[in-house]
């Protein structure tokens, strides 16, 4: 009780503590988990019903894909929920692993040469883990510049030392790009956990869940709206599955969802809608950019590790773009 009082006084938002933190349980987190659980159950039930009613071959295939996606969602949600409950280090390990696996898928697609071997070793085993270690020890200043400043210089230097000049600029640029997207950008999601947002202590994990939830729901909703109403393609050359109907429907509903979730965030309802709009728009652009890379490389997916979804990078491409912008918006407007 005595230990509890000082935080009570520091924190002006008394109502929050009374409403949400009673008994030391992170209620917003649990509420959001319950919401996700409800969604998953609904999706599974709907999928099972559709499977029975599907007649034509192509519909059956779509439903089968939908159901395998749902199964994968169950697993992904469970893993994410567990790491969130474990705490900051749990989330950091999860995202570090995601960065590692995404980078692996990316570099596998991108042509590198023998002379890049040592550089790649550094990229995978030193720079990427270090990026997450810096979050673990709360060293924001170094975290923010490790990859854009130091790795940026290191990569071409190490390749030059290896002595192979063939396609030199291309190789250096491609490795740098992969490191930026897969490690640097993505690491901004768990970096939310080291922002000390006034009057929001102890709830950073909720903000991380908010980002991931809005971002991933935006993907799902764009897919659903696209399947239901999709007619007009946005960029037929880049991603034939993206339609205006899917885009507008998905962005609108995901923004609405974000506004509805404002109770779990440090934002007002309108601010939360704005944040969600930013997340969904950037998520869309992330998906688009990564599609362009896949098109260029002549593949459909970055991998096949997640049933129905493709690779890790296919699943998190939107998050890679949304995370850094969301992080800096929160940091600029809500931290001091």
Partner 1 sequence: MSAKIHPFARVIAALARGISGVQVRWLGCIPEPRQRIYFANHTSHLDFVVLWSSLPVDLRANTRPVAAKDYWQSGFRSFLAQKVFRAVLVERGAAARLHEEHKGEEHAHSAAFAVIQQLAEAMGERDSLIFFPEGTRGTGETVVEFKSGLYHLAKRRPDVELIPAYLENLNRILPKGEFLPAPLVSTLTFGAPIRVEDGEHKHDFLERARNAVVSLRQKGRAEQ
Residues that bind partner 1 in the complex, under the rule CB under 8 A? 100, 104-105, 107-108, 112, 114, 116-118, 120-121, 124-125, 299-301, 303-304
- Alpha-carbon distances of 181 from 2, 9, 123, 188, 256, rounded to whole Å: 46, 41, 13, 11, 28
Q: Which is nearer to partner 1, 29 or 159 (CB)?
A: 159
Beta carbon of residue 155, minimum distance to partner 1 (angstroms, whole number): 13
Distance CA 64, CA 119 (A): 41
Tokens standing for 204? 């950073």
Q: Which is nearer to partner 1, 125 or 140 (CB)?
A: 125
Of residues 19 and 61, the one with the C-beta less far from partner 1 = 61
The Cα–Cα gap between 323 and 284 comes to 13
Closest among 281, 280, 310 to 211, alpha carbons compared: 280
For residues 307 and 313, what is the distance between their CA atoms, to the nearest angstrom?
13
Q: Which is nearer to partner 1, 73 or 106 (CB)?
A: 106
In this structure, what token pair is assigned to residue 271?
A: 């601010």
Least distance from partner 1 to the Cβ atom of residue 236, Å: 22
Least distance (Å) from partner 1 to the CB of residue 175? 11
The distance of closest approach from Cβ of residue 108 to partner 1 in the complex, given in angstroms and rounded to an integer, is 4
CA torsion, points 69, 71, 74, 76, in degrees to nearest 10? -60
Residue 128 or residue 272: which is nearer to partner 1 going by CB? Answer: 128
Nearest distance in Å: CB 190, partner 1:
21
């Amino acid at each position: 009780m005595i230990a509890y009082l000082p935080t009570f006084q520091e924190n002006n938002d008394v109502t929050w503590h009374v409403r949400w933190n009673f008994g030391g349980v992170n209620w917003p987190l649990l509420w959001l988990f319950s919401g996700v659980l409800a969604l998953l159950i609904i999706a599974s039930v709907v999928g099972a019903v559709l499977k029975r009613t599907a007649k034509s071959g192509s519909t059956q295939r779509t439903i089968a894909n939908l159901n395998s996606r749902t199964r994968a969602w169950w697993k992904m949600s469970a893993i994410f929920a567990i790491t969130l409950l474990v705490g900051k280090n749990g989330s950091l390990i999860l995202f570090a692993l995601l960065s590692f696996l995404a980078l692996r898928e990316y570099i596998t697609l991108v042509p590198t040469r023998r002379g890049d071997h040592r550089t790649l070793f550094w990229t995978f085993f030193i720079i990427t883990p270090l990026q997450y270690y810096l979050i673990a020890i709360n060293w924001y200043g170094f975290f923010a510049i490790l990859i854009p400043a130091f790795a940026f210089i290191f990569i071409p230097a190490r390749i030059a030392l290896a002595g192979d000049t063939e396609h030199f600029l291309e190789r250096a640029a491609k490795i740098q790009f992969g490191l930026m997207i897969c490690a640097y950008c993505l690491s901004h999601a768990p970096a939310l956990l080291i922002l000390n947002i006034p009057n929001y202590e102890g709830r950073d994990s909720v903000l991380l869940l908010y980002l991931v939830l809005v971002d991933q729901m935006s993907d799902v909703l764009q897919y659903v709206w696209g399947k239901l109403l999709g007619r007009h393609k946005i960029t037929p050359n880049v991603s034939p599955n993206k339609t205006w109907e899917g885009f507008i429907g998905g962005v609108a509903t995901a923004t609405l969802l974000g506004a509805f979730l404002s109770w779990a965030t440090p934002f007002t309802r309108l601010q939360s809608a704005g944040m969600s709009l930013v997340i969904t728009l950037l998520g869309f652009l992330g998906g688009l950019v990564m599609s362009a890379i896949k098109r260029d490389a002549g593949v459909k997916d970055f991998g096949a590790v997640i049933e129905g979804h493709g690779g890790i990078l296919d699943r998190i491409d939107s998050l890679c773009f949304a995370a850094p912008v969301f992080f800096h918006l929160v940091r600029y407007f809500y931290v001091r």
